[in-house]
Chain A
Amino acid sequence: MNEHGVTLLLGTVTTIKVLVCSMILYVIISMIFGLMRLSKNLAIQGIATVYIEFFRGTSLLVQLFWAYYVLPFFGISLEAFTAGVVALGLNFGAYGAEIVRAGILAVPKGQWEAAHALNFTPTKRIKRIIIPQIFPIILPPAANLTVELLKATALVALVTVVDLTFEAKQINSITWLSAQCFGTALLIYYIIARFALVPFLRWLEVLAARKVGKDRI
């Protein structure tokens, strides 16, 4: 079991790498498409809507396999890790964009009007007044989404990324100690979620609330 312990640990490191990379990607995409969704320009709004509906309407696993097995048909060969991160980022970006959109709409109208009255440029209005205020609103749903992302990283194992799930499956096929290896994998995911990811997201929530002068969420 010792050697397998090391293997599982290495897999865990890969899982965390996938998680961090796809988290960064999905946050950026959410912001961009969330803003685009609220654009007054119909073309920009349309692009964002199509993107969001497409990625929310199809299954993540299908997108993942498409990125890994079908894109090479069009001459784009992505490494398994890249394909995994891109598919996760695009998929969760679509869900995140809706959260960002709802968050922007939830900022009180008076804030827009005040920024307007003070003659802020539209860019400055968004950047300095609206965006800082959306964080306390969007972070709780975004935290849920991020835990979902951690769970979804398990799927990259199916496009041959050697992560925790992949290693667990591998060990299972060697030793047939199914209860032990899948049980351990489940526990590791649980520990990452409960004792690392969730506390980190809570801390972000508190931080964001404090930034806009709300000590309690």
Chain B
Amino acid sequence: MEMGWRWDFTIEILPQMAIATLNTILAAGVGYAIALIVGLFFLLGQRTPFRIINWINREIVEFIRSTPLLIQLFFVYFVLPQFGITLSAWICGMITIGLHFGTYLSEVYRGALEGVSKTQWEACRALNFSTLYTYRRIVLPQAFPIAIPGMGNYLVGIFKDTPLLSTIGVAELFHAATAVGGYNYRYLEPYTLVGIIFLTLSIPAAMWVRKLENDVNKAQGKIKK
């Protein structure tokens, strides 16, 4: 086997990797969208006045947060068919990522809501605003900037966890690299390319999140802490 970096091979596999990169971005985007919504449900479970639901919700969140995403993927992928539910690897992956990161996002939401000063609620009460109006016009606009960094970080986090999807056969970037590497018995270029692609996507994404954080803070007239 030839040692060292081979440019011809790199160029040869580049189109394949580019297509797979699109799949990775798609997976991260869809997973994130699901996680955003799932997070809202966990938040609701946390804020309902029923103690039992609070407790069950908290235990579920704790369980999902303290077990590895990888085994959760296997669990969903291999166990659901036993109950007669056969889903494609893509759907399984999206559900699992959505659930896993939904628990994290619910914590972000919660932190943001708690970050809004209690006196704001009291003021709305005094002004006789309805709960919905208080949320919509007073609390959420203030909670949103607090949530932005956390939400952005998990978008980047999901993006970096998408390679795990390759283990159940989702044809994303890492899966393509492994396939190409296995076919040609050369792992140096594919895996290095994956690393470079991840760097070139996630560093600007992280910078964008930081900028967004500043912008929102400025728009709110707040100085960054």
Q: Which of A28-68 contact B (CB under 8 A)?
A: 53-54, 56-63, 65-66
- What separation, in Å, do the CA atoms of A189 and B181 have in the docked complex? 32
Known: A70-B192, A151-B66. A182 touches B187 (CB 8 A): no
B11 at the interface (CB under 8 A from A): no
Q: Please name all residues of chain B whose beta carbon is closer than 8 Å to the beta carbon of A190 when the two chains form the complex.
A: 63, 66-67
Told that A152-B68, A157-B70, A186-B75 touch, could you supply 10 new A-B pairs with CB distance under 8 A?
A59-B174, A60-B160, A66-B195, A151-B66, A154-B71, A165-B70, A168-B71, A178-B79, A182-B75, A198-B66
- What separation, in Å, do the CA atoms of A165 and B162 have in the docked complex? 18
Contact of B160 among A58, A66, A198 (CB under 8 A): A58
How many Å from the CB of A15 to the closest CB on chain B? 10
Q: Which of A54, A57, A169 has the most CB of B within 10 A?
A: A57
Q: Please name all residues of chain B whose beta carbon is closer than 8 Å to the beta carbon of A172 when the two chains form the complex.
A: 74, 78
In contact, A182 and B66 (Cβ under 8 angstroms): no
In contact, B68 and A182 (Cβ under 8 angstroms): no
Cβ proximity bits B73-89 to A, threshold 8 Å, 1 near / 0 not: 01100110010000000
How many Å from the CB of A152 to the closest CB on chain B? 7
In contact, B70 and A189 (Cβ under 8 angstroms): no
Q: Which of A58-83 contact B (CB under 8 A)?
A: 58-63, 65-66, 69-70, 73
How many Å from the CB of B106 to the closest CB on chain A? 15
A185 at the interface (CB under 8 A from B): yes
- What separation, in Å, do the CA atoms of A172 and B71 have in the docked complex? 12
Q: Please name all residues of chain A whose beta carbon is closer than 8 Å to the beta carbon of B74 when the two chains form the complex.
A: 168-169, 172, 178, 182
Q: Please name all residues of chain B whose beta carbon is closer than 8 Å to the beta carbon of A154 when the two chains form the complex.
A: 68-71
- What separation, in Å, do the CA atoms of A63 and B191 have in the docked complex? 9
Contact of A186 among B71, B161, B199 (CB under 8 A): B71
In contact, A193 and B66 (Cβ under 8 angstroms): yes
B203 at the interface (CB under 8 A from A): yes
How many Å from the CB of B132 to the closest CB on chain A? 34
In contact, A189 and B167 (Cβ under 8 angstroms): no
In contact, A62 and B194 (Cβ under 8 angstroms): yes
Q: Which of B160, B174, B191, B203 has the most CB of A within 10 A?
A: B191
A201 at the interface (CB under 8 A from B): no
How many Å from the CB of B165 to the closest CB on chain A? 10
Cβ proximity bits B162-181 to A, threshold 8 Å, 1 near / 0 not: 11100100000010001001
Q: Please name all residues of chain A whose beta carbon is closer than 8 Å to the beta carbon of B75 when the two chains form the complex.
A: 178-179, 182-183, 186
B10 at the interface (CB under 8 A from A): no
Residue of B nearest to A194 (CB): B66
- What separation, in Å, do the CA atoms of A165 and B78 have in the docked complex? 14
In contact, A186 and B72 (Cβ under 8 angstroms): yes
Cβ proximity bits A169-213 to B, threshold 8 Å, 1 near / 0 not: 100100000110011011001100110001000000000000000
In contact, B198 and A69 (Cβ under 8 angstroms): no
Q: Which of A59, A60, A190, A193 has the most CB of B within 10 A?
A: A59
B188 at the interface (CB under 8 A from A): yes
- What separation, in Å, do the CA atoms of A217 and B70 have in the docked complex? 34
- What separation, in Å, do the CA atoms of A182 and B65 have in the docked complex? 16
In contact, A57 and B206 (Cβ under 8 angstroms): yes
B62 at the interface (CB under 8 A from A): yes
In contact, B70 and A57 (Cβ under 8 angstroms): no
A-B contact pairs, 20 of them (CB 8 A): A58-B202, A60-B160, A61-B163, A61-B174, A62-B174, A62-B198, A63-B195, A70-B188, A73-B3, A73-B187, A150-B66, A151-B67, A153-B68, A154-B68, A154-B70, A165-B70, A168-B74, A179-B75, A183-B75, A193-B66
Which are the 9 A-B pairs with shortest beta-carbon distances?
A154-B68, A178-B78, A193-B66, A61-B163, A151-B68, A182-B75, A69-B187, A59-B160, A154-B70
A147 at the interface (CB under 8 A from B): yes
In contact, B79 and A66 (Cβ under 8 angstroms): no
